Amino acid sequence: MNHFSLTKHLSGLWQNNPALVQLLGLCPLLAVSNSAINALALGMATILTLLLTNMLVSATRQWLINEIRIPVYVLLIAGVVTCVGMLINAYAHSIYLRLGIFIPLIITNCMILARAEAWASRRPVAHAALDALTHGIGFAVVLIVMGSVRELVGSGTLFADSHLLFGELAGPEPLIDLSIDRGLLIAILPPGAFFLLGMLIAAKNALAQYKPLSSASPVENT
């Protein structure tokens, strides 16, 4: 059962996207996507955490005992998230202040526990790492798309305050600045996050249903 299937490995990017299909990790997805730079920072932290936990779970899977596997996953995830949090606090302090409670809350992102249980605990380290990257990137991309749209509509800027993440590499000027005094406020308020996520899921479903019509191959649902 361990033969390599690329489609299965890459499914986290689109077909089985954690945010749009599995609807995992909605709390950070909805709460932190109010600006592109917040989304990018939390996306990167989530990818790093997922990569480390998946690899750790996979590397220690021979000692794993079935009855205590869940506490062990939780222990590993909590340890990794705490380490990542301390590193962000030390090396990107302003981002740490901006994301605040959402860094420790990565622990509660069910996507990470789900990947450990469903995938990493039964695969070699390299496969677990690839799976972490595809699912992590799939999640982060949705987070960043939501952050960008909400920031653009709600504040009229894109990637404002990027110096908080990149230091001197990026100035405080946003990538795009529409110079509007006040955007459509609902976009950066919590309801805007729900509306936008709903629209993204609907768009994804519409695309998935449109495909079989254009090609002759039968519907393959997973």
Partner 1 sequence: MTRQAIAGRDALTLAAYALAVGIVLLVIQQCTAERIRTNQLRVLTSTLNQVIPASGYDNNPLTDKIDIADNNYTRTVYRALLGNQPAAAAVTAVAPDGYSGNIDLLIGISFNGDIIGVRVLSHRETPGLGDEIEHSKSDWIMTFDGKSKKDELTWTVRKDGGDFDQFTGATITPRAVIRAVEQTLEWYAQHRQTIFESL
Binding pattern to partner 1, positions 80-119, x when CB under 8 A?
Answer: --xx--xx-xxx-x---x----------------------
Q: Name the burial class of residue 143, with classes exposed (0-12), middle (13-18) and buried (19+) by CB atoms within 10 angstroms of its CB.
A: buried
Residue with tokens 């609902």: 186
Binding pattern to partner 1, positions 28-67, x when CB under 8 A?
Answer: ------x-------------------------x--x-x-x
| 199 scored as a contact of partner 1 (CB under 8 A) | no
Q: Name the burial class of residue 209, with classes exposed (0-12), middle (13-18) and buried (19+) by CB atoms within 10 angstroms of its CB.
A: exposed
| 195 scored as a contact of partner 1 (CB under 8 A) | no
Window of 19-27, 43-51, 78-86, 115-123 that interacts with partner 1 by CB under 8 A? 78-86
| 75 scored as a contact of partner 1 (CB under 8 A) | yes
- For residue 203, the minimal CB distance to partner 1 (Å) is 26
What lies within 8 Å, CB to CB, of 137 at 6+ separation is: 12, 13, 47
Q: How far is CA 116 from the centre of its chain?
A: 15
> With CB under 8 A, what is the number of residues at the site for partner 1?
28
| 191 scored as a contact of partner 1 (CB under 8 A) | no
Helices (H), the chain: 6-10, 26-31, 36-59, 69-91, 93-99, 110-118, 125-155, 163-166, 190-214
Closer residue to partner 1 in complex, CB, 97/203: 97
Q: How far is CA 62 from the centre of its chain?
A: 28
Per CB under 8 A, the list member of 99, 142, 188, 193 interacting with partner 1 is: 188
Nearest CA among 78, 76, 77, 99 for reference residue 88: 99
Q: Determine how many CB atoms are found less than 10 A away from the CB of residue 141.
A: 17
- For residue 5, the minimal CB distance to partner 1 (Å) is 31
Per CB under 8 A, the list member of 10, 72, 145, 176 interacting with partner 1 is: 72
- For residue 101, the minimal CB distance to partner 1 (Å) is 11
Q: Footprint of partner 1 on this chain (CB under 8 A)?
A: 34, 60, 63, 65, 67-68, 71-72, 75-76, 78-79, 82-83, 86-87, 89-91, 93, 97, 154-155, 182-183, 185, 188-189
